[in-house]
Amino acid sequence: MWGALLVLLYFGMALAAAVVIMQPDRFAISRSATIDASARDVFARIDDLRDWGAWFSFAPANVKLLAERPAAGVGAACDWPGDGTFAAGGAEIVESQPFDKVTIRLQPRKPFASPRDLCFVLTAESARRTKVTCTLSGRNNLLAKAMNLLGRDEKKRGCEIQAGLARLGAIANA
């Protein structure tokens, strides 16, 4: 009896491990919002790291710009020590196409390193309306694959992106 239960337990664990391992290695989560502001105004908010604390949902309040780097555009970088809510990490703007696109490399360090790219694509719908599409992408490590089985990571990150876009819209309208 116990032998059969152990065999079933081991089989179940092996099956669960196989399902986790077979999850996709890469992920991409996109959300869009239309903001009542010009592409120039929206771009200025995204491309300048000094504005991050006010709207960016992935940045903690204690973001510090790196003094030797510019505050905006390619090469702009920031760092944060981490606290109970946010992991320690940093970010750097790696692509900046005025009024069109900004790509930011997020580099969490603790509790584990998991580089991700955050890409903002701006599409001017009129002189005072801009559609902003934000895509978070990266690689899934084994822990992330296990967490994604329930689909919670995509839902949580998607909600964070949507909330950040809403705050960006409110600030860009001001």
User: Model pTM?
Assistant: 0.82
**Average of per-residue pLDDT across 3-27:** 77
Answer yes or no: is 19 within a domain. no
43 backbone dihedrals φ, ψ, rounded to 5°: -60, -45
Q: What is the pLDDT of residue 166?
A: 92
| Average pLDDT of span 154-159 | 83
Q: Is the pLDDT of residue 41 over 90?
A: yes
Query: CA-to-CA distance for 32 and 28, rounded, in angstroms?
Result: 13
Domain span at 98: 25-173
- pLDDT-based confidence at 58, cuts 50/70/90? low
Which percentage of the chain shows pLDDT scores above 70? 86
The answer to whether the CB of 115 falls within 8 A of the CB of 107 is yes
pLDDT at 136: 93
Per the structure, the count of domains in the chain is 1
- Domain of residue 134, CATH code: 3.30.530.20
In a domain, 135, yes or no: yes
Average pLDDT, the chain: 83
